Amino acid sequence: MAEKPDLFRTYPQLAVRVPHVGLCDLPTPVAAMPGLGEALGIESLHVKRDDLSAREYGGNKVRKLEFLLADAAHRGCREVLTFGFAGSNFAAACAHYARCLDLGCVSMLLPQENAAYLRDNLLVGLAAGAELHERDSVPALAADAAWQFTRHWLRHGRRPYWIPAGGSSPTGVLGFVNAAFELRAQVEAGDLPEPDRLYLAMGSMGSAAGLAIGLRAAGLSTRVVAVRVVEKKFAGARLLDDLLHQCCGWIGNLDSGFPVPDPAQLEVEVRDEFFGGGYGVIDSDTAKAIRRTAELEHLGLDGTYSGKAMTALFRDAAAGACAGKRVLFWSTFNSRPLAPLLADLDHRRLPTRLQRYFRDGER
C-alpha cells in the first residue's frame, strides 16, 4: 500500500522534494469492456477503475490526497481547510483521510441539488469529526473561510493547510501526473493498448490537468477528453489552460530533469455540451448512459460526474468520432460501500443548516 509512486521511480529527484503518503491501492485495475464496445462500435474500449482506488473511500480524489495531506503534515499543519459543494466527494474523502493521519478538517460548503450520495458524504465528514460550514454564495463562503482560517490559526497557533476545491492545487494535481505514469506501466505490461482517446469528467480540473501533463511527459500521445460537469465559472478551456501553466511551471522548478510539456501543446478536448442543466442534475441522456453501462458491463456510474463523461463517449461513438480508435474511460467516483464508515451515525449531529438535506430527502 505504501509503495513508491510510479512517478518517483522514474524521477527520484521528485521523491526528495515532494512529500507523499500511501493512501491508495495502486495501480487501480484496467478492464476491457467488450459488451459496451460492441454496442457502441468501438473495437478497443477499456475502463480505468479509480472507483476502487482505496479500500475505504475510493474515487479519483484519493490520488490527490496522497500528496496534499503529506504536504500538510510535512509543513506541521494540524488541520486542513477545504471547499466544495455540500455533497463534495473531495470534502468527504479529505475529511476521512485527514482523520486517518491525525489531521483535523474544516470544510466550507455551497448548497447543491439533494441526493443520497450527498447525504452519505455529509455523514462521512461527520464520522471523521470534520467541521462543516455551508454558506449560500461564493462571496459569503469566501468571507467565512477567511474567518475560519483565522479562528483556527489563533486557536492552534498554526495555520490550517489551505486546499482549493476538489484538491486541484499543483500539489494535488501531481496525483494525476503519477496516474499517467501508472497507466504507462499498464500499457507496457500489456493490460491495454496505448489509448487514442481518454474520457473523464471535469470538475475542479485537476484530474484532467494532471493526466494531460503526465501522459505527455510519459511519452504517450493519448488525447484527454474532459467533460465539464460544473458551471462555466468553475471550469472550462481557459481556466484549464491557466491551471496547466501553473502546474507545468511548478513541476519544472521541482525537478529540472522532468520533461515538462509545453502547456500550449497539450490540446485537451474540453467538452461543454454534457452539463445537463445543472451540477448534480441527471438528464435523460445521462440516465440512459448509466443504465446501458450497468446492463452491458455491470459497471456502476454516478450521475453527477462519471455518468456525464460516459454520455459524451456515447454521443461521440454515435457520431463516428471513436471509429477505429482505442478508447479508455476513466471511472472517477467512489464505488466502495460507505455503510462501514457510517454505522450508528445520527444526522442530527450535523450543523442545523445541513440537516435540511435529510428532512426533504428519502432517508
Ligand X SMILES: *Cc1c(COP(=O)(O)O)cnc(C)c1O
Binding site for ligand X (CB under 6 A): 59-61, 89-90, 166, 168, 201-208, 302, 305-306, 332-333
Compare residues 70 and 270 and give the one whose CB is closer to ligand X. Answer: 270
The torsion angles phi and psi of 201, rounded to 5 degrees, stand at -80, 150
Quote the least distance from Cβ 143 to ligand X, whole Å.
24
Compare residues 158 and 291 and give the one whose CB is closer to ligand X. Answer: 291
Compare residues 5 and 206 and give the one whose CB is closer to ligand X. Answer: 206
End-to-end CA gap in the chain = 35
Quote the least distance from Cβ 219 to ligand X, whole Å.
23
Q: Cβ(53)–Cβ(24) under 8 Å?
A: yes
Quote the least distance from Cβ 12 to ligand X, whole Å.
26
Compare residues 89 and 293 and give the one whose CB is closer to ligand X. Answer: 89
Compare residues 44 and 204 and give the one whose CB is closer to ligand X. Answer: 204
Quote the least distance from Cβ 233 to ligand X, whole Å.
15
Compare residues 152 and 202 and give the one whose CB is closer to ligand X. Answer: 202
Quote the least distance from Cβ 151 to ligand X, whole Å.
27
CA distance 64 to 52: 15
**In 3D, which of 245, 252, 236 has the Cα closest to residue 266?**
245
Compare residues 24 and 205 and give the one whose CB is closer to ligand X. Answer: 205
Quote the least distance from Cβ 43 to ligand X, whole Å.
26
Q: Which three cell numbers stand for residue 117?
A: 450520495
Quote the least distance from Cβ 356 to ligand X, whole Å.
23
